[in-house]
Amino acid sequence: MEYSTRTTDDGCEIAYQASSSLKNACSGDALVLLLHGFAGSSAYFTRNYPGLLSDNSTTLHVVAWDMRGHGRSSKTTGGYHVARLAADLHFLLAHLDRGRRLRVIGVGCSIGAAVLWTHIELFSPASAHFAGLVIVDQAPLQDREPYTGWTPQLAHRGLYDEATLHAAQKVFRETPDDGYRGLVADCLGYRYAPLASATVSEEEREQDEAFFLDIARACDGKWLARLMADHTRYDHRDAIAEAVDVPALVLAGTKSGPFSIEGMRETANRINNGIHSKSGQDLAEFREIDAGHWMFYEKPQEFNELIINFIRRCQ
């Protein structure tokens, strides 16, 4: 994987990692585009790159980008909206494809899924840009919404109304390291739902925490707090029912701190009950992984195998 950068129309330098094979990509080749989560970066997928690129069953290229405000990309003063991140994605897609008509598989983890949904809402239909979508542990609405039946079982477990949002924003603004450590505690399955018999050594725990803290510290806590507000309130439920017209794979972590299995299953239901689903033929496949919110890191081999098998379904 090699780093490159491109500058957007508003002067933001977007950094991304790409497999060297992308330079020689041909029409019809598959491109896996990995979108990281809140306070993350393309480094999140360090454990996934080797397995994805070693598959010989199809011509496969891999790209992972650092969203603005994250990783090696510019830390802009503004731009803390999911829609701005979706516009950046649109810019990057055009640059990567260059008229080659690649089969792009968008893999959105957490807020990365929200960016995918917003992109297809703004630049619909999904099939104009993607051959398939993978949604990794993100419900289409984080807030609770009693008027439409969006119950606590479906919403985000810890960030679901104005009070919880303001409390979380205060932490990221004033003591961001506490916020980053909270993410580690909620998003690694063995931390959120530890087994009676420990399967991860103390040394591994410390290394994992240091890895994710180092990535998060590249961000500005105050900027993240403003992005958090936009992300938490953003309701994607109708958008995914109306704009997803390509195969989708919805992955849920059985030990996820942020979301329940019910919330993730509802993500698949919204797609399968949408206007593009055909009778007796679901667009979205729902799968569980025995891991946390960051399942790609905890179970990289299983995660990779699901992605590769899904690519075959999108041919």
Give the number of C-alpha atoms closer than 13 A to the C-alpha of residue 206, restricted to the C-beta side: 3
pLDDT at 262: 94
Q: Angle, to 10 degrees, between the axis of helix 82-97 and the axis of helix 221-233?
A: 90
pLDDT at 196: 62
Question: Parallel, antiparallel, or unpaired for β 13-18 and 60-66?
Answer: antiparallel
Residue type, 266: E
Cα separation, 30 vs 126, in Å, equals: 16
- Residue 253 makes CB contacts below 8 A (sequence gap 6+) with 137, 189, 259, 288, 289, 291, 292, 293, 294, 295
pLDDT tens-digit profile, the chain (315 residues): 999 999 999 999 999 999 988 888 888 889 999 999 999 999 999 999 999 998 766 678 999 999 999 999 999 999 999 999 999 999 999 999 887 888 999 999 999 999 999 999 999 888 989 999 999 999 999 999 989 999 999 999 999 999 999 999 999 999 999 999 999 999 999 999 887 666 788 899 999 999 999 999 999 999 999 999 999 999 999 999 999 999 999 999 999 999 999 999 999 999 998 888 776 688 999 999 999 999 999 999 999 999 999 998 887
